[in-house]
Amino acid sequence: MKRHHSDPRLPRKLYIKTYGCQMNVYDSGRMADLLAPLGYEATDAPDGADLVILNTCHIREKAAEKVYSELGRLRPLKEEAAERGDQMLIAVAGCVAQAESQEMRRRAPVVDLIVGPQTYHRLPELVARAHRSTGAVLDTDFPAESKFDHLPETQAVEGPSAFLSVQEGCDKFCTFCVVPYTRGAEFSRPGEAVLTEARRLVGAGVREITLLGQNVNAYHGEGPDGRDWTLARLIRKLAEIDGLDRIRYTTSHPRDMDDDLIAAHGEVDALMPYLHLPVQSGSDTILKAMNRRHTADDYRRLIDRIRHARPDIAMSGDFIVGFPGESDADFADTLRLVTDVTYASAFSFKYSARPGTPASTAGQQVDDAVKSDRLAALQQILDAQQVAFNHATVGCQAPALFERIGRRPEQMVGRTPWLQAVYVEAPLQLLGQIAPVTLVEANAKSLTGILADTAGDTMQQPAEQVA
Ligand code: 5AD
Ligand code: SF4
């Protein structure tokens, strides 16, 4: 790392607060990497930081308001720094920055720089400019060049499981969603660049990689052979990397589950039996109004095909209740779909209008009390399904990847292939390693396991899922 020893204030302290999705967690890591050569070192509180970055998410309701109140809390810290003669730079990055840039410049003069998700590779330059300027520096373009070409080679690796961003943006335009507006059009990184980053991660001790993208199974990156690679192709190539034991990907659209990707679930050992495949609703009327471009039965058939390829796959999904126009009958269709599919885990949300999206101005907005009731009813079923899934794996022997040390002495926390957290008494040397575990007890959100006798170890699959 290049240090400018003439600058007495080095190292500088960097505080990043990350909101929202895994894509943002990944982006925050890369921002830290980008700023490391300028002498910025991560700190876990904003007090005394030289640079604070709020890496924001626009998906949730009142996302922008939360950012403004956080900025309000930062203001006195910035003023205290100024009284000491120090400069605390405040940056807002991510999707709120993209969506709100002009408004934010006006409303929050405390912000020194605003950088959209597509331009954060310019952070070092922007930070340097912000140090010199007054008035916020703004960079929220969708540039022709890709930020991925500008990211540094060195990437800090934390733990054996890493995220790798392969695709960004979305062309689907679901009528409730801001992503196509904030993250822009779909873009896929070239296959070779992904493989290179994956090899580097594995070289640094990573055993599991989760490929990230807003619509990751729409991946169509240029391959070294000059042809477009699909996600299935990319996964098959990644699986050839020695030492990369586990591959996952998130998040997907049902329309982009092609035959080869489904087949890969049955054929690629490293591809873990867990799939997050949001459906949002089980009503054809609502699916149409959401512009999802498939029916509930299309989704059911798709799940059948995926389970045919990989019978033990743990299904996960996203649901929205109270989308404009959703009737009791529409909601009942969602419950029916959930009962038919049976999920191992799921995320469910009350519909919230996002400014600028078509659904936000639709008539027939659903009453909040109705939304709350529907959410509670849905979550009750989904929670029961999760418990049932966890119980169905008790008695199985499965490889666990030990990700971190637990709270109790000699306890470690691992992940099963089905992405369940499993608590096991295990020696510290197993941290970052994969070892067979017998699952002995299921709780709502996790399992307890014991290290299995490695002699004659075979992985067993859980019995047919019980609904
Ligand atoms: N209201 C409620 N939930 C939403 N999601 C996205 N936009 C909205 C919205 N306007 C949910 C979807 C998506 C997940 C990431 O967030 O379920 O899959
Ligand atoms: Fe948003 Fe996902 Fe729909 Fe794209 S596919 S518009 S990211 S919900």
pLDDT in tens, 289-302: 999 999 999 999 99
Domain range 157-272, CATH class: alpha beta
Let me know: does 287 contact 278? Beta carbons within 8 Å. Answer: no
Question: How many angstroms is it from 91 CA to the middle of ligand 2?
Answer: 27
* Ligand 1 geometric centre to CA of 175 (Å): 10
Q: Which has more confidence, 27 or 284?
A: 284
Which helix (H) or strand (E) element contains residue 246? strand 246-250
- Do residues 343 and 380 touch, judged by C-beta distance below 8 A? no
State the pLDDT at residue 58. Answer: 80
Instruction: Give the per-residue pLDDT at 155.
Output: 57
User: Rounded to the nearest 5°, which phi and psi values hold at 143?
Assistant: -75, 155
pLDDT at 4: 38
Substitution site in 177, 181, 251, 321 for ligand 1 pocket (most atoms within 8 Å of beta carbon):
177
The answer to whether residues 268 and 281 touch, using CB atoms and an 8 Å cutoff, is no
Task: Give the lowest-confidence range in 102-111, 367-376, 419-428.
Answer: 102-111
Residue 401 has pLDDT above 80, yes or no: yes
Say if domain 394-465 classifies as CATH 2.40.50.140. yes
Tell me: the pLDDT tens digits for 48-93?
899 999 999 887 767 888 899 999 999 999 999 888 888 899 999 9
Check if the beta carbon of residue 396 is closer than 8 Å to that of residue 460. yes
d(CA 11, CA 37): 10
Lowest mean pLDDT among 64-73, 370-379, 384-393: 64-73
- Ligand having the closest approach to the CA of 357: 1
Same fold, 12-139 and 274-392: no
Mutate to test the pocket of ligand 1, among 57, 61, 320 (most ligand atoms within 8 A of CB): 320
CA-nearest residue for atom 16, ligand 1, is 59
Q: How far is the CA of 271 from the centre of ligand 2 (A)?
A: 23
Q: Which of ligand 2's atoms lies nearest the C-alpha of 291?
A: 3
Q: What is the pLDDT, as a whole number, of residue 38?
A: 78
- Which of 149, 246, 146, 261 lies closest to 197, judged by CA? 149
For the entire predicted model, the pTM comes to: 0.77
Closest-lying ligand 1 atom to the alpha carbon of residue 318: 17
Q: What is the mean pLDDT of the chain?
A: 88
**Residue 342, pLDDT above cutoff 90:** yes
Could you tell me which of 133, 96, 138 has the C-alpha nearest to residue 113?
138
Supply the DSSP string of 286-345, one letter for each residue.
HHHHTT--S-HHHHHHHHHHHHHHSTTPEEEEEEEES-TT--HHHHHHHHHHHHHH--SE
Edge to edge, the sheet with strand 137-139 lists 40-42, 12-18, 51-56, 89-94, 113-115, 137-139
- The CATH architecture one would assign to domain 274-392 is 2-Layer Sandwich (3.30)
Could you tell me the distance, in angstroms and rounded to a whole number, from the CA of residue 63 to the centre of ligand 1?
12
* Minimum-distance ligand 1 atom for the alpha carbon of 176: 10
pLDDT at 6 over 90: no
pLDDT on residue 156: 61
What is the 217 CA–ligand 2 centroid distance (Å)? 12
Residue 98 pLDDT > 60: yes
CA of 179 to the centre of ligand 1 (A): 10
* Ligand 1 binding pocket, CB closer than 6 Å: 59, 176-177, 278, 280, 318, 320, 349, 351-352, 354
Specify whether the CB–CB gap between 174 and 148 falls below 8 A.
no
* pLDDT per position as a tens digit, 177-229: 988 888 888 999 999 999 999 999 999 999 999 999 999 999 999 999 899 99
Assign 221 to helix, strand or coil. Answer: strand
Query: Cα 117 from chain centroid?
Result: 14
What is the distance in A from the centroid of ligand 1 to the CA of 354?
10
- CA 310/CA 316 separation, integer angstroms: 14
CATH code, residues 12-139: 3.40.50.12160
* Ligand 2 binding site (Cβ under 6 Å of any ligand atom): 170, 172-174, 177, 179-180, 214-215, 253
Distance 202 CA to ligand 1 centre (A): 33
Could you tell which of 58, 167, 174 is best to mutate to test the pocket of ligand 2, judged by most ligand atoms within 8 Å of the CB?
174
- Residue 83 vs residues 48, 70, 78, 97, 129: alpha-carbon distances, Å: 12, 21, 9, 28, 22
pLDDT at 169 over 80: yes
What pLDDT score does 134 carry? 54
Q: Whole-angstrom Cα distance, residue 271 to residue 417?
A: 9
Please state the rounded mean pLDDT for residues 19-27: 84
Residue 390 CA to residue 447 CA, distance in Å, equals 7
Q: Which two tokens stand for residue 223?
A: 């391959």
Mean pLDDT value of segment 384-411: 93
Backbone angles phi, psi at 398, to 5 degrees: -145, 150
Cα atoms in the 13 Å half-sphere on the side-chain side of 369: 0
Among 128, 106, 193, 180, CA closest to 354: 180
pLDDT-wise least confident of 32-36, 58-62, 385-389, 428-432: 58-62
User: What integer pLDDT is reported at residue 128 of this predicted model?
Assistant: 74
Give the closest residue (by CA) to ligand 2 atom 3.
Answer: 174
Q: Which has more confidence, 445 or 266?
A: 266
Please name which ligand lies nearest the alpha carbon of 216: 2
Among 5-14, 192-201, 454-463, where is mean pLDDT lowest? 454-463
How many angstroms does the Cα of residue 173 sit away from the middle of ligand 2? Answer: 6
Residue nearest atom 6 of ligand 1, based on CA coordinates: 177
CA-to-CA separations, 14 to 2, 88, 89, 195, 265, in angstroms, rounded: 17, 10, 10, 30, 40
Q: Domain spans of the chain?
A: 12-139, 157-272, 274-392, 394-465
Ligand located closest to 176 CA: 1
